[in-house]
Amino acid sequence: MTRRDPSQPIKVAVAGLGAVGMTVVRAIASGDLPGFTLAAVSARDTEAAAKRLDALAVSVPVVPIDALEPYADLVVEAAPSELVPAIVTPFLKAGKSALVISVGALLAHEDLIAVAREHGGQIVVPTGALLGLDAVTAAAEGTIHSVTMVTRKPPRGLKGAPYLTDNAISVDDLTEAKLVFSGTAREAAKGFPANVNVAAALGLAGIGADRTTIEIWADPAVTRNTHTISVDSDSASFTLAIQNIPSENPKTGRITPLSMLAALRKMTAPIRVGT
């Protein structure tokens, strides 16, 4: 591992200024993430992005996503999933790092992993809304027999998902829980790109997206995004459950941007806890 000069802050580019991106921007601008400096941002609406930065008294370039790489050492991806290749590829080809929150896009663009390998770059997937990935990755060093996950979300948090639209599945006016999807993590990530990036992360951490099975329920009785994971392996069998409080975006839990901050903080911390 290349030794980092602690006197030189890590230059960060942020692609996307929604709940996740703005959390990172605020943390760096306020000094809550020592060792980092904000170098540039990109957003679909550049005028709105500039106003958000002005409100924080932050002055950095607002540039198109394909112009971010020269400004920074790493990029924080917090944008629509279809933009992931355009955001991270230049950084990976330059041997830099990309923190990816739209994990499902990695299943659709697995060539990005090959690009990182070839050029010495690295894709970092924060834990996000899912606990227990350390245990899953540890179990994967041995033999995992099965990984299953059951997700329950308030119906409004699932509205607009491509799978529901394509299959004419309504989640309006539900009075009881409704199973809206059952299949593999790969299928779930494709059909619910803004909802279950956790499924993609779980697949990547364990036995692969095609052997990891997912159920998604629209449940009017829950107010939090809930995930229950069950793993059976030759080293341990365990069940993990988490209830995530939604952010202002009902598709994203509050813990997701905090997970991005934790991943960044580990990069400069004198002690790292967890694999």
Confirm whether 145 is a catalytic residue.
Answer: no
Distance CA 257, CA 150 (A): 22
Q: What pLDDT does 167 receive?
A: 97
Ordered structural domains, the chain, with CATH: 10-129+255-268 (3.40.50.720), 133-244 (3.30.360.10)
pLDDT, mean over the chain: 92
User: How confident is the model at residue 120, as a pLDDT?
Assistant: 97
pTM for this entry: 0.88
Per-residue model confidence (pLDDT) at position 194: 78
166 burial via Cβ count (<10 Å: 0-12, 13-18, 19+): exposed
Q: pLDDT tens, 85-105?
A: 999 999 999 999 999 999 999
3-state secondary structure of 213: strand
Which amino acid belongs to residue 20?
V
Residue 3 pLDDT level (bands cut at 50, 70, 90): low
Over residues 49-76, the pLDDT tens digits come to 989 999 999 999 999 998 999 999 999 9
Tell me which of 109, 119, 145, 227 is the catalytic residue. Answer: 227
